[in-house]
Structure 1
Amino acid sequence: MDKLFLLDAYALIYRAYYAFIRTPRINSKGLNTSAILGFCNTLNEIINKEHPTHIGVAFDHGKTFRHEAFPEYKAQREETPEDIKLSVPIIKELLAAFNIPIFQCDGFEADDVIGTLATKAGAMGIETYMLTPDKDYGQLVTENVFIYRPRHGGGYDIIGAGQIEEKYGIKSPAQVIDLLALMGDKADNFPGCPGVGEKTAVKLINDFNSVEELISRSEEVKGKLREKIEAAADDIRMSKFLATIRTDVPIELNLDSLRLVEPDKEKLSSLFAELEFKTLADKFLNKGEKKQKTDNIQLSLFEEFPTSGKDESENSILASLKNSPHDYKLVDTQEKLTELYDFLRTKEILSLDTETTSTSAVDAELVGLSFSVEENKAFYVPIPSNREDALKILSFLKPLYENPATLKVGQNIKYDYEVLMNYGIRLQGRMFDTMLAHYIIQPELRHNMDYMAEVYLKYQTIHIEELIGPKGKGQKSMRDLDPSEVYEYAAEDADITLRLKNVLEPKLKEIGGEHLFWDIEMPLVPVLADMEMNGVCLDTKALADTAKVFNERMSTLEARIYEQAGEQFNISSPKQVGDILFGKMQIMDKPKKTKTGQYVTNEEVLQSLRSKAPIIDDILAYRGLKKLLGTYVEALPKLVNKRTGRIHTSFNQAVTATGRLSSSDPNLQNIPVRDDDGKEIRKCFIPEPGCLFFSADYSQIELRIMAHLSEDQNMMEAFRSGHDIHTATAAKIYHEELADVTPAQRKKAKQANFGIIYGITTFGLAQRMGIDNKEARQLIDDYFRTFPKVGEYMETAKRMARAKGYAETLFKRRRYLQDINSKNATVRGFAERNAINAPIQGSEADIIKVAMIRIHKRFADEGIRSKMILQVHDELNFSVYPEEKEQVEKIVREEMEKAYILNVPLVADAGWGSNWLEAH
């Protein structure tokens, strides 16, 4: 059966662009590919999930008949972001390569084009889907025509006539036009009837069937509503004209041209390569292609060969490997191993890689070792599964790894560092991590080797799946394969890493990132490696007790919620919560709805309604407990390593654009600390047996950095005098003596301090503080009068970012701001806030990294057995032997407070206890 999909291009492009607005996808050429990537992902999903037989894409094209009839139509919309303007021609090029037709017509919008094609197709009995998030399309739905609407958070809803009628409570989808005519449309800027919302509009349309009938029989409407309708009659008629999607556009439905056919693979491959869409290229171009493994090859260690050493008739794994001159050797005898050792030990640079059985370094066993010291040449040493035999090989190679005179090069070298620790080896000498080098050069791009090889070397690497198969039941491990099948893949990693080092090192110099790389990021690697391998002790009994208490409280809350609601329902279901609160209990007149018609019941909405009914507080408390249970209380014990009895989180250096460390598996950075329930989680983190828990964190470091950057005399004086900054701020804003500042005034000053320095809006501050906009505006004005140079700094930061295209930290870490000069105020505003935020958050991140490196070194130099075990933003945590208590606190305070000399003192607060909560 024929199945036609018609895509509303701009609606999908805008949706994709704004979905990535916080983490835009920028390629190495500086092009923001967010919209293109999102659009292509949607296309891929539709083609593979729905298997359409026919497909077409409609674009808006210039001014339309609506603009001519009503000049204010969409007049309030901001200018299209420049990145979208640049993306549209590329998307059209991609569609041409896909052999998917593009439809656009002078004087009409994409809605009208799709409306015309869908109506014609539906009349022919063709199952037709209009892919769009736009609610206006509801009027076009018929027996054979459906909306295929993207859901928030992923997935799609198929909306037919029944769903439209049920959602709005109307008799037919065509009446959507009349609803829009009465309600108006803020997005499209047409008026409707003032004071008429959805509820009233539905009642009127059900009573009168259409707006024409309503206007002609307006005398039947009672009171002020009648006056509103009669006064707005012309606006209602115009609104209906504007809301009506045309189905008579002069465009033909040619099913042959719409038929989904094979893409132009050569053209598509070229475009994907230019855009740096490696994953998408694999999805679209390599479907079903069989990958072949390398053949068994026996060669002497230094025998040269120009290609892969195989007959041209036998396909190697990838064309890039087959066609690129390379010399990769399998080192599988003691004689070859000795020859390799003698060759490598004289080299000044050693590129290395490890093949292992696990992505977790704590549990990983070595399968093989790779080395490269010259581009296009590499060696692979297989490691036996028997640990005794493995240790013999590692012991033999240990001097290579521990030679302090050799520069060690790796991709994510921290992992290799940790795996080698399992075999009694500690990498010595300077290290160059290509992942971290690229992170400094282009913090917002991807840093994996495959991506960098394609971008910088124009080289496509072998995929591990080509050896071990796709994820699933039948997937092999590297241990299952013969070394002859593995060695080219493994050797290639060491070779590519060396080649990337040679490309990236000069780029580091170009951007002035050498100090950041050599003195901060690289020395931090062994610090984090030690923390990860040591792990953190967890009191599982305390967590079990907490789980019991939380579950009992949830049961009590559940019973109370059911009693207040008058029925049982799924408290975890946003839909059912909305139906109870707004449908049944009607706790507010005009509740927010999603585009699919579901009531919005997120935390922000419920927090704003807390005064309306006690059930709100209970639902929020229930949700909070359930989240803590699922995310931490019940999840953490499952992550305890069976061998070590500890949790081993991974600290990620190359994830956040600001330079902050993040952690994963588990994420310990997000453990809540503000409420008592969240604090219960910290109670379960404990020191090693016989040790104390020590916690040290920077006091208001972000504000101290702001004082340093802005050089505001009032702010600097507050810190230099040792006064509490929030009390001092309140005293200045409210013209009080320090002793007379009330707790409420201090709280407001604190919220202002942390909100305003990050560019919070009047509305945002009002929402956060629970005050009206007028008071928030006054508070912001008073704040900038109190700290005038803070405002000046913020404007200077934006101005410098506009000139340079990036913001930078005290250590010259860059945050590129592609949209800082955008004509779209929303997009530009986001970039401007980052121009202010990045130097503060990034400097904070750099400072604590410096402190960690120096503390780690002092511990080693002074023979301290105590360990640094956790880092969370501006906080460091330690497991400390009691006899080292005074010495550890002295070292930690000194190194944290001297990590960088600001214009104001850096202060570290510290605490001790038997667990994290007590210490913090």
Structure 2
Amino acid sequence: MPKTSPAAATKPAAVKAPAKGDHVFLVDGSSYIFRAYHALPPLNRKSDGLQVNAVLGFCNMLWKLLRDMPEDNRPTHLAIIFDKSEITFRNKLYPDYKAHRPPAPDDLIPQFALIRDAVRAFDLPCLEQAGFEADDLIATYVRLACERGATATIVSSDKDLMQLVTDCVTMYDTMKDRRIGIAEVIEKFGVPPEKVVEVQALAGDSTDNVPGVPGIGVKTAAQLIVEYGDLETLLLRAGEIKQPKRREALIENAEKARISRQLVLLDDKVALDVPLDELAVHEPDARKLIAFLKAMEFSTLTRRVAEYSQIDPADVEANAANKSGASSQPSPARDKSTGASGDLFASPAAPASPKPGADKQDKAASLKGTPILLAAARAEAAQKLPVDRNKYQTIRNLDQLNAWIARVHDVGHIAVEAKANSIDPMQTDICGIALALAPNDAAYIPLHHRQSGSGEGLFDAGLAPDQIGVGEALAALRPILESPGILKIGFNIKFNAVMFAQHGIIIRNHDDAQLMSYALDAGRNAHGLDALAERWLGHATMSYGELTGSGKGKLSFDQVAIDRATAYSAEDADVILRLWRVLKPRLVSERMTAVYEMLERPLISVLARMERRGISIDRQVLSRLSGDFAQTAARVEAELQELAGEPINVGSPKQIGDILFGKMGIPGGSKTKTGAWSTSAQILDELAEQGHEFPKKILEWRQVSKLKSTYTDALPTYVNPQTHRVHTTYALAATTTGRLSSNEPNLQNIPVRTEDGRKIRRAFIASAGHKLVSADYSQIELRLLAEIADIPVLKQAFRDGLDIHAMTASEMFGVPIKDMPAEVRRRAKAINFGIIYGISAFGLANQLGIAREEASAYIKKYFERFPGIRAYMDETRDFCRANGYVTTLFGRKCHYPDIKASNASVRSFNERAAINARLQGTAADIIRRAMIRMEDALAEHKLAAQMLLQVHDELIFEVPDDEVAATLPVVQHVMQDAPFPAVLLSLPLQVDARAANNWDEAH
């Protein structure tokens, strides 16, 4: 009889041979750990900041299998099966098998041991066996179960296990609550389960390094297997294949295909250490399970287990071995770490010189301490290891590049920084690509540098020698850039993503050091590469101006000498990697991982796709508007000259100031530091409100001139000659509150409340056969104010669908909502929105054209009627003064370090900004979540709509005419439910969505 494993030995005797009617569940534990880690939002244990999202996902899955499955589909036998990280028979057959798998993420490694502890807390068998993968054990157990007349369920969605599906065996994906049977396997592979290994042998698997036959994918492999029956017959008859490339590939790689089949075929005859009979399910020790869950601080699941077992959790002590501060060693499962590394990859006591395998020391250090200690150690090490540009390499041929690529596979991550000739990623040339694997271990691949000649065309002598062709280099780099198993680390990596996408390469699995800095320090630090290098590394980077020069002699990047470009570019990649190593543990230690993983990182690829789609404009509409604006500007300018009584340059602030406050003697002027009169918009607004005609005309002229120069004249110059559309660029790390900004061109500042601004929006049009759909959150910041400040009357008004401004006017002024005068509602609206932005009595008086005393009385009455709003504002201000930041409902920190400034106006501004930031920031987080989920939702409903623009609380889509009716409810549903389940709002969000031929009509 096989011996019992230590895991099984801890389990109370529960031996029952499976029989007909029994149901054996086998959980692919190793696979599920990684799925849970990547699928669930980051979760940090409050007591020590340890990330435990994979542990929670695993525990929820086990509870679901034991308690939440239907009565007729619960397991009678259940085991959790893990890989044992030792050499298996497959490595002996093919040494490179799984050789390039990346190391596990740092914040997942401590969870391996805790997951095994979780399995034992549930009193379930925790199985692994030397020399075999978990899949082989699963294959053997399901064979035995079926032979005894039982049915089997494999809890996994791993394609490698689909070969085991039969009438007796199904797979179950608990995350999607989806069953995978024979039909689903055929849908995925194009062949029934028994032929899956034949298809996999041909297609190979880059993740596991199964070679397969180059050039043959799953679809082609399925067609070949359907036609020829099996792999061996296909290989014997390969000479019959009509397509030359396919025929040659099959003949030349026949042996690789045969080896691949052996690698993917599961062994279902393993001599099991733990017999199937010993997997019988029994009741776990509820107190032991509660003790573990309390130590992990899983309050919801603790409560569910306690309620089910009728035990008061207060009577159970948390398991001391799993509590904060207790040390757990990682499981060896997939804990592979190889490759060169330096001081940043080790504990502070490690040698400064690069040392292979030092990364393991770092991981061990992280387990012995806490995330806070790891973050501190990384920051200290970063300051100690100097940047040495002399160690950088220039990669000039494919052999050198392929050698680097092989090292990337060993390490599992790479810092990437492509250098461009333009700020437009849609149209620029890729001049070169910098890579970094470790501190001072960086290189530059020049691709498109020009050599200098003589005479007028100084750089007309063609490309510099010894450069790899762009196509060749990108073809070599494509597998690592597109590999989901290799982490690409960048800085504003979206720019690179758009550039590479223009060459048909989609970057998968990326981190962005700039966005990490932004998630951690929005509002208190600059997030440029140079500033961060100075702050965290104590290093002054080579400046772009130092590289290219300035003035008439300024060089474009492709004109920079290759040796200089190498020093500059490789340094950037090196610095990016070092910053990533410093900032990554800070996310965990400061509990900002959820913000980065939920709101920042997933949005990168979404925005990259939006930027590449662009939007169409009607140039004729803009041309007519430009003419109209020019006439209006000329008319206003003539009126101003008549008012001034002399010829004037309307665009000269000095001359305007002299006329206003000198010649006309209008009071209320102030001077700038240079001694000139200030003619800021605020001052002109105040004077216009007082009834002065000259400043009113100046404002009108400035507005129409800006619309003409910024939009009607400029927009046509942004039309891409290839796509014939306008492509804006979004910045994620630009504001303190999480709002996106738009530039080149800025499409977020087109006025929407003026008729002229709306005219410009009419020039944004749908392409033929399509409509533009505008979906806009209605009064979202007011709803969030009611939610966060907990104002019952406002909350009820939103629930009842009332006109919130009319309701406010009724509450304040005692006027019935029905037949309310428009002026009364307008005043309430101004107060509602003004309160959000911390408006003063002076500001409200100017906005409404009333006396300051009257405006002050309005604000006082507003706070008396809604006292919770004043309390919210006071609490937010006090919290920010004490902590230097405020948080959104999603945990984003918005820092306002100047809230304690000695300058009263600076202090007051920061107080108002902090109060608004919780509302504006939460609204920004909500629309980010909507954007991240939108594309999958549209694809799930098989809709062709494409998201084009985001303008604060509004999303713009281009939708085929015949899909508009089906698209609108999907868009509304995704936007309205965007906060869930991370944040549960008591108030419903309202989204207005309309379709039209242009943006103005749709809004």
| TM-score bucket (shorter structure) | 0.5 to 0.7
Distance 1:801 1:542, change over 3 A: same
Q: Deviations over 1:49-95 (max 9, x none)?
A: xxxxxxxxxxxxxxxxxxxxxxxxxxxxxxxxxxxxxxxxxxxxxxx
Following superposition, the deviation at residue 703 of structure 1 comes to 0.6
- Whether 1:373 and 2:437 are equivalent positions in the alignment is yes
Following superposition, the deviation at residue 782 of structure 1 comes to 1.7
Tell me the equivalent position of 2:542.
462
TM-score (norm 1): 0.62
Q: In structure 2, the residue corresponding to 1:879 is in which secondary structure?
A: strand
Q: In structure 2, the residue corresponding to 1:368 is in which secondary structure?
A: strand
Following superposition, the deviation at residue 831 of structure 1 comes to 2.8
Q: In structure 2, the residue corresponding to 1:697 is in which secondary structure?
A: strand
Tell me the equivalent position of 2:928.
849
The letter for the 2-side match of 1:553 is T
Kindly indicate whether the alpha-carbon contact (under 8 Å) linking 1:870 and 1:877 is maintained by their aligned counterparts in 2.
Answer: yes
Kindly indicate whether the alpha-carbon contact (under 8 Å) linking 1:380 and 1:487 is maintained by their aligned counterparts in 2.
Answer: yes
Identify the match of residue 865 of structure 2 among 761, 777, 786: 786
Tell me the equivalent position of 1:416.
496
Q: In structure 2, the residue corresponding to 1:572 is in which secondary structure?
A: coil
Following superposition, the deviation at residue 643 of structure 1 comes to 3.4
Distance 1:368 1:634, change over 3 A: same
Q: Deviations over 1:268-301 (max 9, x none)?
A: xxxxxxxxxxxxxxxxxxxxxxxxxxxxxxxxx9
Tell me the equivalent position of 1:494.
573
Tell me the equivalent position of 2:425.
361
Identify the match of residue 712 of structure 1 among 791, 813, 827: 791
Tell me the equivalent position of 1:403.
483
Distance 1:378 1:557, change over 3 A: closer
Residues 18-417 of structure 1 correspond to what in structure 2 (within 5 A)? 324=388, 327-384=391-448, 389-417=469-497
Kindly indicate whether the alpha-carbon contact (under 8 Å) linking 1:707 and 1:903 is maintained by their aligned counterparts in 2.
Answer: no
Following superposition, the deviation at residue 339 of structure 1 comes to 2.4
State the alpha-carbon separation in 1 of the partners of residues 762 and 504 from structure 2: 34
State the alpha-carbon separation in 2 of the partners of residues 480 and 575 from structure 1: 42
Identify the match of residue 766 of structure 1 among 820, 840, 845: 845
Kindly indicate whether the alpha-carbon contact (under 8 Å) linking 2:429 and 2:448 is maintained by their aligned counterparts in 1.
Answer: no
Tell me the equivalent position of 1:912.
995
Tell me the equivalent position of 1:185.
none
Distance 1:322 1:710, change over 3 A: closer
Tell me the equivalent position of 2:738.
659
Tell me the equivalent position of 1:41.
none
Following superposition, the deviation at residue 580 of structure 1 comes to 4.7
Following superposition, the deviation at residue 665 of structure 1 comes to 1.4
The letter for the 2-side match of 1:781 is K
Following superposition, the deviation at residue 889 of structure 1 comes to 1.4
Kindly indicate whether the alpha-carbon contact (under 8 Å) linking 2:389 and 2:567 is maintained by their aligned counterparts in 1.
Answer: no
- Whether 1:529 and 2:597 are equivalent positions in the alignment is no
Following superposition, the deviation at residue 851 of structure 1 comes to 0.7
Q: Tell me, which stretches of 5 or more residues in structure 1 are unaligned? A: 1-300, 309-319
State the alpha-carbon separation in 2 of the partners of residues 529 and 874 from structure 1: 19
Kindly indicate whether the alpha-carbon contact (under 8 Å) linking 2:413 and 2:488 is maintained by their aligned counterparts in 1.
Answer: yes
Identify the match of residue 738 of structure 1 among 808, 817, 830: 817
The letter for the 2-side match of 1:440 is A
State the alpha-carbon separation in 1 of the partners of residues 729 and 683 from structure 2: 35
The letter for the 2-side match of 1:370 is A
State the alpha-carbon separation in 2 of the partners of residues 907 and 440 from structure 1: 28
Kindly indicate whether the alpha-carbon contact (under 8 Å) linking 2:595 and 2:892 is maintained by their aligned counterparts in 1.
Answer: yes
Following superposition, the deviation at residue 816 of structure 1 comes to 2.0
Residues 830-909 of structure 1 correspond to what in structure 2 (within 5 A)? 830-900=909-979, 901-909=984-992
Distance 1:383 1:772, change over 3 A: same
Tell me the equivalent position of 1:313.
none
709-718 or 730-739, larger mean C-alpha shift: 730-739
The letter for the 2-side match of 1:543 is L
State the alpha-carbon separation in 2 of the partners of residues 589 and 804 from structure 1: 42
Q: In structure 2, the residue corresponding to 1:880 is in which secondary structure?
A: strand
State the alpha-carbon separation in 2 of the partners of residues 561 and 613 from structure 1: 12
State the alpha-carbon separation in 1 of the partners of residues 851 and 643 from structure 2: 31
Distance 1:383 1:565, change over 3 A: closer
Tell me the equivalent position of 1:472.
551
Tell me the equivalent position of 2:319.
none
Residues 561-640 of structure 1 correspond to what in structure 2 (within 5 A)? 561-580=640-659, 588=666, 601-610=679-688, 612=691, 617-640=696-719
State the alpha-carbon separation in 2 of the partners of residues 367 and 321 from structure 1: 29
Identity of aligned residues (%): 38
Tell me the equivalent position of 1:505.
584
Q: Tell me, which stretches of 5 or more residues in structure 2 are unaligned? A: 1-338, 343-351, 355-383, 450-462
Tell me the equivalent position of 1:806.
885
Following superposition, the deviation at residue 898 of structure 1 comes to 0.6
State the alpha-carbon separation in 2 of the partners of residues 454 and 607 from structure 1: 42
594-603 or 335-344, larger mean C-alpha shift: 594-603
The letter for the 1-side match of 2:996 is G
Following superposition, the deviation at residue 673 of structure 1 comes to 1.4
Q: In structure 1, the residue corresponding to 2:932 is in which secondary structure?
A: helix
TM-score (norm 2): 0.57
Q: Deviations over 1:283-321 (max 9, x none)?
A: xxxxxxxxxxxxxxxxxx99x9x999xxxxxxxxxxx99
Following superposition, the deviation at residue 876 of structure 1 comes to 0.9
State the alpha-carbon separation in 2 of the partners of residues 620 and 489 from structure 1: 46
799-808 or 509-518, larger mean C-alpha shift: 799-808
Kindly indicate whether the alpha-carbon contact (under 8 Å) linking 1:714 and 1:786 is maintained by their aligned counterparts in 2.
Answer: no
Distance 1:565 1:372, change over 3 A: closer
Following superposition, the deviation at residue 807 of structure 1 comes to 0.8
400-409 or 882-891, larger mean C-alpha shift: 882-891
Distance 1:463 1:561, change over 3 A: closer
The letter for the 2-side match of 1:909 is D
Tell me the equivalent position of 1:685.
764
State the alpha-carbon separation in 1 of the partners of residues 572 and 673 from structure 2: 47
Identify the match of residue 775 of structure 1 among 854, 857, 862: 854
Following superposition, the deviation at residue 721 of structure 1 comes to 0.7
State the alpha-carbon separation in 2 of the partners of residues 345 and 726 from structure 1: 60
The letter for the 2-side match of 1:523 is P
Following superposition, the deviation at residue 688 of structure 1 comes to 2.7
Distance 1:729 1:391, change over 3 A: same
State the alpha-carbon separation in 2 of the partners of residues 490 and 481 from structure 1: 11
Kindly indicate whether the alpha-carbon contact (under 8 Å) linking 2:398 and 2:468 is maintained by their aligned counterparts in 1.
Answer: no
- Whether 1:699 and 2:778 are equivalent positions in the alignment is yes
Q: Deviations over 1:512-558 (max 9, x none)?
A: 11011011101000111111122222211111101112222333334
Following superposition, the deviation at residue 582 of structure 1 comes to 5.5
State the alpha-carbon separation in 1 of the partners of residues 544 and 687 from structure 2: 52
Q: Deviations over 1:796-828 (max 9, x none)?
A: 112222332211111111122324345654443
State the alpha-carbon separation in 2 of the partners of residues 436 and 851 from structure 1: 19
542-551 or 824-833, larger mean C-alpha shift: 824-833
Distance 1:323 1:622, change over 3 A: closer
- Whether 1:753 and 2:828 are equivalent positions in the alignment is no
Q: Deviations over 1:560-598 (max 9, x none)?
A: 444455443333334444555565556x56766667775
Following superposition, the deviation at residue 654 of structure 1 comes to 0.8
State the alpha-carbon separation in 2 of the partners of residues 363 and 595 from structure 1: 43
State the alpha-carbon separation in 1 of the partners of residues 860 and 604 from structure 2: 45
